Each structure stands twice: as structure tokens, then as C-alpha cells.
Amino acid sequence: MSEDEKLLKEAKKFPWEDRLTHKNWKVRNDANIDLAAVCDSISDPKDPRLREFGPFFKKLVADSNAPVQEKALDALIAFLKAADADAGRYGKEVCDAIVAKCLTGRPKTVEKAQAAFMLWVELEAVDAFLDAMEKAIKNKVSKAVVPAIDVMFQALSEFGTKIVTPKRLLKMLPELFDHQDQNVRASSKGLTLELCRWIGKEPVKSILFEKMRDTMKKELEAELANATETAKPTRKIRSEQDKEPEVETASEVVGTGPAEGTVDDTPLEIDEYELVDPVEILTSLDKSGFWEGVKAAKWSERKGAVAELTKLASTKRIAPGDFSEVCRTLKKVVTQLFSGNFLF
């Protein structure tokens, strides 16, 4: 028996954490292979071993040794397939670690990282996934940005807007369209077209175009001309998958009609108002000198103050606040206007 074989045999007696963090990469590699095999064998998502394994992965996927990192991703994928939504508690740290260490790796590593992200979405850790994507698109290495956009495209395409929030994606796109790398911009177009399939062209154009350069608008406009607006999810989150056997049984008993409790996969109708962040305008009014201007003796200053209010209030969504004084002031302005004291 070789020295390596002796080392690996002896290491199998160690606790999981000691094996997975061992200084020898072959021991770590072997431990990840065993960890994946154990997770593959678990059929109960409440198995206590999953609670034990969960905290390991934030370090495992960040391994500096490329082959070991790949095996760690294999183990993570096996873990996520065995777990349920309770595993979401580890989502943020693990997704962040994947973004930091895996997206610039070997093609197979990137592919496995994307598969892991999709499983996090399947387990409803969508916020952790999208938070990580917001960090990924800021990576200085463009080859790490493209797989992040591609996995967002995949998540949206497979799960739909009921699971993957379009508002979060729309907030990321303007920055991506300004990226210096053409591959990033090309992937961003693909994600934009997929969004159009789910929520329609007009909401996407309305929100994106005001934040984009004219050259990019023209480019995207041409792409949007061929965009279709029909989409349907092809993949269910885990909690919905768990209901499927019961649904099928009910269908067999009742007949051919849809069973009660069947998941509605009709694309979600999106209100454009819900896609934009509310803008706080009261503070801006104070800073603009509105209150002094609207009470000024000169009609030109009053007119300028009202114009400033109009500009600020023309945003798509205004943040809640106490607008009682604004309303009282506008009432006075209207009264002055009709009495001839407010001349334009």
C-alpha cells in the first residue's frame, strides 16, 4: 500500500470537518467524493446529517485546488438535491462563496456552479441567489460576469417571474448594457429578451430605456422587434414538486379535469408600477428651494418652483410621505391662478 493510500485510509477515520479541511488536497478531494455519495444516499430531507453538512459548503466551494473545488461542487449539488427549503439558511454564504471563487474557474467548474445556483432557486433561496448575482455582475473579470447573466437567464426561463423577481433583474441590466465587454452586452440582450417574453416589451422598454445610452437603445430596439411575449415555466420549485404525486392521484380519481391544488403555471401579469423603486421626492423639494420659490413675490420664481415639483413628481413611483403641506400649497397656487394673481 502506497503512502497516499495509507493516508487516505487513515483519514477516513477522521470527523467530516477534519477530512474536508485537511492540509493534503488528496484527503480533501476524497472527503468531498464521500460526502457527495452520502448525500446521494439520503432520501429524507429532514435527515439530521444534512444539518451537519450544510455549514461546510461555504469553505468547500472556495477551495484553492481546482480539482477539489469541482468535487466540492459535486457534493454541494448532491446536498441540495437531498435537502429541502430549510437548506436556504446556508444560501447566502454559499452563493457568495461560489461567486467569489468559482465563476472564473474551469468550464466544468463554472457549469457545476450554475447547476448549484439553479438548485438554490429550486429550494426557494431566490433572494440569496439574486443578491449573489448583484455582486457577480460587478466582477472586474468579464468572463465571470457572463456566466452570472446566463444563469439568471436560465433561472428566469425555467422558473418564470413568479419565482425569479423581474424587478431585481431590471435593476441590474442598465449597468450591464454599459459594460465594455461585448460578450457581457450580448448576454444582457438575451436576458432582456427573455424578460420581454414574461412581462411584455413595453414595461421593459419603459423602465430600461430611460437609463440607457442612445446607441444601446437603438441596438436593443431592433432586437425587441422580434421578441415574443409568450412564456411558461418548465421547472417547479421543490415544494411544488413534492405535491405532484398527490395531484396525479387526484386526477386519476376525478377524471381528466385539472386536480384541485394543481400549480398554476400561467405567466404572472406584471404591473409596471411594481417593477420600479419608489423615489423619495420630499427631501429633493426641500433642497431645490421649492418652498421659498413657491411663495416668492416674482411670478417667474413661483412658476419655476411649480415646474420643479412637476419634474420631481413625474417619476413612475413616488415613495410614501406626508404630502399634506404640498397639497395645501398647490391649492393656494390654483386659487391664485384662477384669481389672476399667478400669471404665466
Greatest mean pLDDT among 188-202, 203-217, 255-269: 188-202
CA pair distance 243, 241, nearest whole angstrom = 5
What's 75's domain CATH number? 1.25.10.10
- For the chain, the average pLDDT equals 85
Query: What pLDDT score was predicted for residue 237?
Result: 94
- 71 falls within a domain: yes
Q: How far apart are CA 18 and CA 4, in angstroms?
A: 17
Q: Is the pLDDT of residue 262 over 50?
A: no
pLDDT confidence of residue 340: 60
Q: Cα dihedral sign for 263, 269, 272, 278?
A: negative
pLDDT of 311: 81
In a shared domain, residues 252 and 124: no
Report yes or no on 155 lying in a domain.
no
What domain range is 118 assigned to?
Answer: 1-136
Report the pLDDT value the prediction gives residue 252, as an integer from 0 to 100: 46
Residue that is last in its domain, among 228, 255, 276? 276
Q: Are residues 233 and 214 in the same domain?
A: yes
- pLDDT surpasses 50 at 327: yes
Q: Is residue 141 part of a domain?
A: no
Beta-ladder partners of 279: 318
**Is 129 inside a domain boundary?**
yes
What share of the chain in percent tops pLDDT 70? 87
Residues 107, 185 within the same domain: no
Contact present, 83 and 123 (Cβ < 8 Å): yes
Are both 284 and 228 inside the same structural domain?
no
Structural domains of the chain, count? 3
User: Are 124 and 175 within one domain?
Assistant: no
Closest residue by Cα to residue 187 from 211, 163, 169, 167: 169
Asked if the structure places residue 332 within a domain, the reply is yes
Coil, strand or helix at 244:
helix
Domain boundary among 276, 309, 326: 276
Same domain, 69 and 117: yes
Q: Is residue 55 part of a domain?
A: yes
Query: Residue 275 — pLDDT band, cuts 50, 70, 90?
Result: low
Percentage of the residues of the chain whose pLDDT score is greater than 90: 54
Considering the domain architecture, whether residues 252 and 291 belong to the same structural domain is answered as: no
One domain for residues 1 and 132: yes
| Predicted local confidence at residue 130, as pLDDT | 97
Whether residue 127 sits in one domain with residue 10? yes
Does 166 lie in the same domain as 118?
Answer: no
* Whether the predicted pLDDT of 203 surpasses 90: no
What are the distances in angstroms from CA 200 to CA 62, 160, 163, 193? Answer: 39, 13, 17, 9
Chosen domain end from 276, 305, 324 = 276
Same domain assignment for residues 251 and 238 = yes
Spatial separation of the C-alpha atoms in residues 97 and 109, rounded to whole Å: 13
Is 50 exceeded by the pLDDT of residue 254?
Answer: no
Residue 145 lies in a domain: no
Does any domain span residue 157?
no
CA 255 to chain centre: 39
Under the banding of pLDDT at 50, 70 and 90, the label for residue 147 is very high
Looking at the structure, do residues 271 and 307 belong to the same domain, yes or no? no
pLDDT band at 97 (very low <50, low <70, confident <90, very high): very high
